[in-house]
């Protein structure tokens, strides 16, 4: 009987301590929400920009370290102001928990060119690693073209 408990505890320990890692690459698909009649002369392309953000989550995400030096506890930023741009309308869960790593990476890309009005997505890379529910790290790199809309004449 004792042996069964020991084997069960060892098996449970191995499952909890085993980590997992993944890398996901993709090209965002633009939503067809707004249709505009713009021509190439209405937009100025400012160049390629890239933004990266990293979130380390601990204990079911209750404690987070953002970009290596910003701390969130229970979803509340401690001593820093969240800086992000929404890539899409927030979901109900997103509205409760605030910005995610992808929104921060998009903001970093947009901030690289202060004159830009938007960044046209080209590609993104998501790297995840860690022990599920205990400690996870997510790094997102967003790449795209910075765009500036010309004023109406």
Cross-sheet strand order for the sheet of 70-73:
20-26, 118-131, 135-149, 43-58, 63-66, 70-73, 76-78
Among 52-56, 96-100, 143-147, the minimum mean pLDDT is found in: 96-100
CA distance 144 to 117: 13
Does any domain span residue 2? no
Instruction: For residue 64, give Cα distances in angstroms to 22, 61, 95, 138.
Output: 20, 6, 17, 11
Instruction: Report yes or no on 13 lying in a domain.
Output: no
pLDDT for 32 beyond 50: no
Structural domain contains residue 57:
yes
pLDDT single digits (tens) 83-117: 666 655 555 555 556 678 888 888 888 888 888 88
Segment 9-34 shows an average pLDDT of 57
- 34: pLDDT confidence band, cut at 50, 70 and 90? low
Is the pLDDT at 63 greater than 50? The verdict is yes
Residue 111 covered by a domain: yes
Whether 4 maps to a domain, the answer reads no
| Assigned domain for 126 exists | yes
User: Could you tell me if residue 7 is inside a domain?
Assistant: no
Give every CB contact of residue 150 below 8 A, 6+ residues apart in sequence.
Answer: 41, 42, 43, 44
pLDDT at residue 35 in the model: 54
Query: Number of folded domains in the chain?
Result: 1
The reply to whether 9 falls in a domain is no
Q: Which residue has the higher pLDDT, 6 or 114?
A: 114
Instruction: Name the band, by pLDDT with cuts 50, 70 and 90, for residue 79.
Output: confident
Structural domain boundaries, residue 59: 20-29+40-149
Residue 138 reports pLDDT greater than 50? yes
């Amino acid at each position: 009987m004792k042996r069964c408990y020991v084997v069960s505890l060892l098996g449970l320990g191995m499952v909890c301590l085993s980590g997992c890692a993944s890398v996901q690459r993709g090209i965002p698909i633009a939503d067809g929400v707004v249709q505009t009649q713009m021509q190439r002369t209405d937009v100025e392309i400012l160049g390629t920009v890239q933004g990266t953000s990293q979130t380390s989550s601990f204990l079911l995400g209750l404690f987070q370290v953002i970009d290596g030096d910003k701390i969130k506890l229970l979803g509340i930023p401690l001593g820093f102001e969240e800086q992000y741009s929404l890539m899409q309308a927030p979901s109900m869960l997103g509205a409760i928990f605030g910005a995610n790593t992808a929104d921060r990476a998009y903001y970093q890309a947009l901030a690289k060119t202060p004159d830009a009005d938007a960044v046209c997505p080209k590609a993104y890379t998501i790297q995840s690693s860690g022990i599920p529910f205990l400690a996870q790290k997510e790094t997102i790199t967003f790449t795209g073209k910075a765009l500036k809309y010309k004023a109406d004449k």
